Structure 1
Amino acid sequence: MFVTHLSTERSFRELARTLDPILYKVALRACRDPAVARDLVQDTFERGLRSLPQLPPDTQMRAWLTTVLHNRIVDHCRVQARRQSEPLEAAEEIAQPPVDDEAWAHITPEDLERALARLPEKFQSVCQLFLIERLSYDAIARRLGIPKNTVGTRLTRGREKLRALLLGGTEEEVE
């Protein structure tokens, strides 16, 4: 269908009704989430309606809307990839349980160093590098020769063990 046949919003709506199931199948196949697919198709039609006055008269609407949908899918995938590659440090900060400031107020740097020394080696080295030397997960992984995800896991468990040591937990919590 050419733009010249779509001189009104009403004509565009008729085209949208015809193309909706086709574009939805394309979006669903690409993202595998019905709600996201529906949103992508809806956004495609919104963009199409807004751009209608600027399109050349010989534009084939089905091909053009399919291209718009394709670009929306690519944009969506890029956003998802960025979210999944969020630095572990940021995710770790979010995952930490709330801290009782009153209990931590009396802990000195010396207390922290003594507690670090009591940790099992695999937790001690990661906690020392992250908490004291302020290295990133990547730098710790390179220095210790372990995967970045292992750094995050050991840091989480090491912090739990430190918390137990510093706040009067049992030796079993540290082992």
Structure 2
Amino acid sequence: MDDIYRRHAATVYKYLLSLCHDPHTAEELTQETFYQAVRSIGRFDGSCQVSTWLCQIAKHLFYQHLRKQRRETPLPEEEGALPPLPSAEEEVLDQSGRLDLLRRVHGLPEPGREVVYLRIFGNLSFREIGAVLGRTETWARVTYYRCKERLKNGGEWDEE
């Protein structure tokens, strides 16, 4: 298991960081991922790569973390405890482009959406993306390129 940890810990960490955008949480979830992997190694049937199996465990742990976080988020007790909110106009101007892009990325079909998320938000290489998704580096490159072109064309596939 030590060898598996050394070979795959960075990939699992980057994957989790792409999901949660918090290094501390990604580190905690990476450790929990390998703990769960040790507990369930007997159920690993070898039908996929080890990195794919580990990232699936990590994804489930991340979703558990989100559910737990939603339940535990306290409500502010004092009105003064809330940070000042930007005006609606400022918020729209600041986030309209970013939100539009995220909506368009979210509208991509799987597995292209996940490839884009892993590449942009997780800063994973195409080789790492291929390993996480159980595909080749070339497949990850082509899928990313096609999704990028689709986003440029407003969501339509370019039929060249």
Q: TM-score, normalised by structure 1?
A: 0.40
Q: TM-score, normalised by structure 2?
A: 0.44
Does 1 or 2 have the higher relative contact order (CA < 8 Å, sep 6+)? 2
Of Structure 1 and Structure 2, which has the larger fraction of its residues in helix?
1
